[in-house]
Amino acid sequence: MIATTTKIHNFSAGPGILPIDVLKQASEACINFDNMGLSLLEISHRSKNYVAVMDEARQLVKDLFEVGNDYEVLYLGGGASTQFAMVPYNLLTENGFAAYVNTGVWASKAIKEAKILGNVKVIASSEDKKFTYVPKGYEIPADADYFHCTSNNTIFGTQMKAFPKCPVPLVCDMSSDLFSRKVNAKDFSLIYAGAQKNMGPAGSTMILVKKDILGKNGRKMLSMLDYNAHIKGESMYNTPPVFPVYVSMLTLRWLKQNGGVEWIEKINQTKADTLYNEIDRNSCFVGTVAKEDRSFMNVCFLPTKPEYEAEFDKLAKTYNLSGIKGHRDVGGYRASLYNALPLESVNALVEAMKEFEKKFA
């Protein structure tokens, strides 16, 4: 076993950082789950011990979103990318259309999948400026089957600060800012998110769906793509991703026990303010997106001179900064400030930026 006492500051965009207490509990469960003398990885998902995990994991989502029994919670495989297809498959009618807003790579992929299944209208897009802002002031057609948006742009670093009043079912991909801030979940008919950015490990996708929007598309449904089939099966129509769901449960339990979404939102805002203030102050770095649309989950910035990048990469290693390289479509740097990332790590990045400016400005 390799042991280390070195503090690594993990800014990975996903899979992202998880609370250390959660990782410890999850690792123990891989050996001895629930004092059964068996690993979580080798017991039946139908056992009462694991059914209790699934039940708690689903209820925690409802508790944190503050919704009632008119909503159902699902944990499915396939990632958020499968939801790009499942949403239109379940909600888009043969003669109707869906309205989408395009704010980045993942929104573009959702639009592409939906177009395979039916009619789609892209009612607003920020592609004209390389997704460096969030469109505003658009009108959502009242005759659309549903409206789809992506709350946070992981790659380019923008975030919807408010959601439009919607005359049709509001569907949102919240993969990269789920439970990072308060939202009125009752305004949404469906929320989905891959767990691996802010909730758990890769392999599970959470879906919160209002039951009354389902069963209206007139389509003969394939069972594995039918939300109602998974609701009836209580997220176990087929074998669920047992370990990712368990770790997601532990993470949501950690969040709720520490004060819930209101508690973590304050911390996340402090982290984002700390880093953006340094980006705006520091002569060696510059932000990449419109200030009013800056994500407080994925902070993207560039060196003001191309030659700075190699030098800052070297300095970052001495500060044990991990996962800050920007996406290839943007370049530069991206610091992901997910819920489990401590302020201490943001302060380490800021100190590295200050030292860099002293040496090279």
pLDDT tens digits, residue range 106-126? 999 999 999 999 999 999 999
- Condensed to tens digits (0 to 9), the pLDDT of residues 183-226 reads 999 999 999 999 999 999 999 999 999 999 999 999 999 999 99
Question: Is the domain of 32 the same as that of 91?
Answer: yes
β-pair type (158-159, 152-153):
antiparallel
Q: Give the model's confidence band at 131: pLDDT under 50 very low, under 70 low, under 90 confident, else very high.
A: very high
Given strand 285-287, what is the order of strands in its sheet?
285-287, 298-303, 333-336
Convert the pLDDT of each residue in 139-158 to its tens digit. 999 999 999 999 999 999 99
Flag whether 16 is in a domain: no
Q: Reply yes or no: is the peptide bond before residue 306 cis, omega within 30 of 0.
A: no
Does the structure show a pLDDT above 50 at 2? Answer: no
Q: Would you state the structure tokens that stand for residue 75, as one six-digit string?
A: 């944990």
Looking at the structure, tell me whether residues 165 and 37 fall in a common domain.
yes
How many domains, in total, are found in the chain? 2
Q: Does residue 285 share a domain with residue 237?
A: no
Q: Say whether both 310 and 328 belong to one domain.
A: yes
HSE-CB at 224 with a 13 A cutoff on CA atoms is 6
Copy the structure tokens of residue 47: 């056992």
CATH of the domain at 221: 3.40.640.10
> 52 and 169, same structural domain?
yes
Residue 6 domain-assigned (yes or no) = no
Check whether 138 has a pLDDT greater than 80.
yes
- pLDDT at site 76: 97
| pLDDT over 90 percentage in the chain | 97
pLDDT reported for residue 294:
98
Gap between the Cα atoms of 284 and 311, Å rounded? 11
The residue ranking higher by pLDDT, 243 or 1, is 243
- Assess whether 250 and 344 both reside in one domain: no
The CATH number of the domain where 317 resides is what? 3.90.1150.10
Instruction: Share the mean pLDDT of the chain.
Output: 96
Q: For position 1, what pLDDT does the model report? A: 38
pLDDT in tens, 312-345: 999 999 999 999 999 988 999 999 999 999 999 9
**What is residue 5's predicted lDDT score, i.e. its pLDDT?**
57
Domain boundary among 235, 257, 279: 257
- Does residue 3 surpass a pLDDT of 70? no
Task: Extract the tokens encoding 359.
Answer: 């040496």
246 located within any domain: yes
Same domain, residue pair 154 and 25: yes
- Distance of CA 136 to CAs 22, 123, 178, 210, Å? 39, 11, 21, 26
Residue 140 belongs to what domain range? 21-257
Cβ 150 vs Cβ 81: under 8 Å = no
Instruction: Please state whether 79 falls in left (phi above 0), alpha (psi between -120 and 50) or beta.
Output: left
Residue 6 binned pLDDT confidence (cut-offs 50, 70, 90): confident
| Residues 271-300, mean pLDDT to the nearest whole number | 98
164 and 268 fall within a common domain: no
Domain boundary among 225, 257, 289: 257
Task: Give the domain-ending residue among 233, 257, 281.
Answer: 257
Q: Is the pLDDT score of 285 beyond 50?
A: yes
Percent of the chain with pLDDT strictly greater than 70:
99
Which amino acids are annotated catalytic? 106, 173, 197
Residues 197, 321, single domain; the answer is no
pLDDT band at 7 (very low <50, low <70, confident <90, very high): confident
Question: Closest by alpha carbon to 199, among 114, 28, 73?
Answer: 73
